[in-house]
């Protein structure tokens, strides 16, 4: 094995599915690693409901059904693999994620309606929207309630090069502030867009808060960003304080080189 940081995973199976699992981070150097021990925990199922914001009325005046086509998924807050596959949201808004490791996870939704964002994620009576859900020392998970909102902000803008000309196909990145790459909720609030043939872009359904907006001429690896690597690009960034239903228009200057 090459030196580095690894995730060590051990599982036992019952009736064709994982029953117990243990995981630990393992640092490998130039010497053998021996006598590694770690405790195993149970596999957990997570159930809950997604509640859309104020469904539009049907033609007969009755409320429309709260049908969503998305999936509820878990993201490990410790950057470790999690074998609980995403769960499809049922017609009544309920979902069930099976085979979840005892870990700290962020609960998010893929395939949200274009006009809605995740307002809150509750585990029982506890708000876990930004902190995530810690399952590392429990045998079962509390019911999850995910509330959506249609009152997200919109940011429209144009990206210009050093000569003031619109740039086609540039990558625009919206980052919550203060930017902390280790924050569990980052993937839920970070947003990206690509400029069209006129150099324009639009980002919708943004949760209220403070953000900074950047533009690069080509794709960058967002997962590798940290505050120090962003410093050279701050002069061309735009700061935003967004309230519910806000609509801002910005003019961005292009960063000519991607983050290295």
Question: Which pLDDT tens digit goes with each residue over 103-161?
Answer: 788 899 988 878 889 999 999 999 999 888 988 777 889 999 999 999 999 999 999 99
For range 3-14, the mean pLDDT? 70
Q: Which of 90, 73, 91 is nearest to 82 (CA)?
A: 73
Of 25-39, 81-95, 156-170, 245-259, which has the strongest mean pLDDT?
A: 156-170
Please give the residue that has the higher pLDDT: either 180 or 71: 71
pLDDT of residue 194: 96
**What is residue 256's predicted lDDT score, i.e. its pLDDT?**
75
The predicted-structure confidence for 9-23, as pLDDT tens digits, reads as follows 776 666 666 656 667
Apex CA 169: angle with CA 167 and CA 171, to 5°?
Answer: 95
Task: Detail the DSSP E strand segments found in the chain.
Answer: 4-14, 17-28, 41-42, 44-51, 71-76, 87-88, 94-100, 104-110, 117-123, 126-127, 133-134, 144-149, 153-160, 171-176, 191-194, 200-206, 209-216, 238-242, 247-253
Domains of the chain: 39-149 (2.60.40.10), 153-253 (2.60.40.1120)
Confidence of residue 4 (pLDDT cuts 50, 70, 90): confident
**Is it the case that residue 63 has pLDDT exceeding 80?**
no
- Measured distance CA(123)–CA(132) in Å, rounded: 9
- Does residue 224 or residue 143 have the better pLDDT? 143
Share of the chain above pLDDT 70, in %: 81
Neighbours of 170 (CB within 10 A): 22
Structure tokens of 78? 């410790």
Which pLDDT score is estimated for 41?
67
27: which residues sit within 8 A by CB, 6+ positions away? Answer: 4, 5, 6
CA-CA distance, 153 to 19, in Å (whole number)? 43
Q: How far apart are CA 175 and CA 189, in angstroms?
A: 7
CB contact at 8 A, 259 and 237: no
| Span 194-210, average pLDDT | 96
Q: Is the pLDDT of residue 164 over 90?
A: yes
Distance from C-alpha of 20 to C-alpha of 38, rounded to nearest angstrom: 12
What pLDDT is recorded for position 135? Answer: 85
CA atoms within 13 A on the CB side of 147: 12
pTM: 0.77
Residue 59 has pLDDT above 60, yes or no: no
User: Residue 192 to residues 17, 171, 219: CA-CA distances in angstroms?
Assistant: 37, 7, 10
The angle subtended at Cα 55 by Cα 85 and Cα 123, nearest 5°, is: 45
Q: Is the pLDDT of residue 35 over 90?
A: no
- At CB < 8 A and 24+ separation, what contacts does 226-229 make? 226/181, 227/179, 227/181, 229/259, 229/260
């Amino acid at each position: 094995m090459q030196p580095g940081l690894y995730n060590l995973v051990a599982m036992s199976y019952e009736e064709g599915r994982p029953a117990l699992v243990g995981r630990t981070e393992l640092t490998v150097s130039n010497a053998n690693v021996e006598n590694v021990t770690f405790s195993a925990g149970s596999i957990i199922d997570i159930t809950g409901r997604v509640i859309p914001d104020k469904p539009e009325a049907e033609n007969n005046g009755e409320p429309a059904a709260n049908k969503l086509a998305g999936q509820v998924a878990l993201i490990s807050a410790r950057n470790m693999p999690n074998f609980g596959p995403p769960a499809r949201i049922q017609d009544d808004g309920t979902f069930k994620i099976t085979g979840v490791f005892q870990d700290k996870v962020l609960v998010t939704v893929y395939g949200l309606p274009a006009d809605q964002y995740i307002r809150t994620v509750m585990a029982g009576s506890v708000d876990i929207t930004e902190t995530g859900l810690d399952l590392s020392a429990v045998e079962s998970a509390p019911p999850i309630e995910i509330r959506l909102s249609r009152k997200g902000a919109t940011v429209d803008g144009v990206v210009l090069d050093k000569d003031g000309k619109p740039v086609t196909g540039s990558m625009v990145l919206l980052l919550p502030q203060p930017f902390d790459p280790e924050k569990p909720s980052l993937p839920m609030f970070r947003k990206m867009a690509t400029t069209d043939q006129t150099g324009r872009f639009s980002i919708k359904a943004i949760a209220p808060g403070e953000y900074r907006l950047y533009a690069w001429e080509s794709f960058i690896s967002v997962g590798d960003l940290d505050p120090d690597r962003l410093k050279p690009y701050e002069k061309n960034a735009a700061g935003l304080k967004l309230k519910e239903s806000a609509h801002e228009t910005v003019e961005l200057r292009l960063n000519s080189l991607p983050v290295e």
